[in-house]
Amino acid sequence: MIEECIFCKISKKEIKSEIIYEDEDFVVFKDINPQAPIHLLLIPKIHIENISRISLESVKNFNRIFSVIKEVTEKLGVDKDGYRVVVNNGKNAGQEVNHLHFHILAGRKFSWPPG
C-alpha cells in the first residue's frame, strides 16, 4: 500500500465508501462525484498505478476484472440497456487518482467521441 493513496485506504476501509462488491482481489464502490445515475469504481486491492504499470507476469491476475464487471452490472440490471467502462490512464487521459480504477457508468446514454 502506498501511504497516502486514497483508493488503498478505501480498500482497507480506512476511508468510508459505499462498497457494493468485494472479493479477495477487487473492490467496487460508488464514485463520490457521480457522472451518471450509476457510477462505480472497480479497483484491484493491490496498489498499481495504471495499466502501463501492470507487469506481464501479473497481467493474468487481472483477467477476472471482466467477470467482476459482468457480475456487478447484471446484479444492478444495467447489462441489457448498456453501460460504459472507462480507464483514464495517465496524464493525457486526465487520471487523477494514481491507483488503477475502472469507471463503470450506467443509467443514461453516453455520447461519443469522449471529450
Cell numbers describing residue 15 = 476511508
100 binds Zn ion (CB under 5 A): no
Shortest-Cβ-distance residue relative to Zn ion: 5
Alpha-carbon distance 39 to 51, whole Å?
20
Q: What share of the chain is helix, strand, coil (3-state, %, to 5)?
A: 25, 20, 55
26 binds ligand 5GP (CB under 6 A): no
Cis peptide before 114 (omega within 30 of 0): no
Catalytic annotation on 101? yes
Which segment (20-28, 42-50, 66-74, 87-95) binds ligand 5GP by CB under 6 A?
A: 87-95
Rounded to 5 degrees, what are φ and ψ at 6?
Answer: -65, -35
Binding ligand 5GP by CB under 6 A: which of 1, 5, 6, 85?
6
Cell numbers describing residue 74 = 447484471
Binding ligand 5GP by CB under 6 A: which of 96, 109, 111, 112?
96
31: helix, strand or coil: coil
55 binds ligand 5GP (CB under 6 A): no
Tell me which of 47, 99, 101, 103 is the catalytic residue.
101
37 binds ligand 5GP (CB under 6 A): no
- The catalytic residue positions are 101
